[in-house]
Amino acid sequence: MGMKGDEMAETPEATIKAAAVAYVAGDEEGLFQHLHDGVRVLGSEQMENWQGMEEARHQMTGELMRLRPDGPGSVSGGLVDLALNPEVRDIQQTDDVAWWSATSDLMLDRRYYREASWTTVLMREDRGWKIVHSHFSIHR
């Protein structure tokens, strides 16, 4: 269902969806292929503040494993549904930059976890769109 190899999404919606599909599947490589080399990733905690692909890759791999110590598990809920089907009307866009934000419930292993938000900024490159800034926050 996701994109393979070095494929790049032709629209911001396709990038958001592909990143969400990879996250839900626990597919680290699939997720990272949609991030810009200079990506900035922020999370719920103060220490979740990563700059650049190398740091984001190292830290997010640990975060994915912390959330899913027994494997990919089941990640679902309204926030996932919104990311898997981003509405064109919800994406703000200029020629080379797009941004999207959503807030809804998040479930892990079919149990309600908490409300969460995801905001992402994307940039158009020669062959498609990449995420340059992502803030994923689980509300406390």
**How much is the pLDDT for 107?**
83
Average pLDDT, the chain: 83
CATH class of the region 12-138: alpha beta
For the chain, domain boundaries: 12-138
Q: What is the mean pLDDT of residues 61-75?
A: 62
Q: Can you give the pTM of this predicted structure? A: 0.81
**Helix-, strand-, coil-residue percentages of the chain, each rounded to 5:** 30, 40, 30
**How much is the pLDDT for 17?**
93
Q: What are phi and psi of 99, to 5 degrees?
A: -145, 150
Kindly report, residue by residue over 9-43, the tens digit of the pLDDT: 789 999 999 998 888 887 888 888 999 999 999 88
68: helix, strand or coil:
coil
How far apart, in whole angstroms, are the C-alpha atoms of residue 22 and residue 88?
A: 20
**How much is the pLDDT for 68?**
58
**How much is the pLDDT for 87?**
81
How far apart, in whole angstroms, are the C-alpha atoms of residue 15 and residue 98?
A: 11
CB 24 within 8 A of CB 2: no
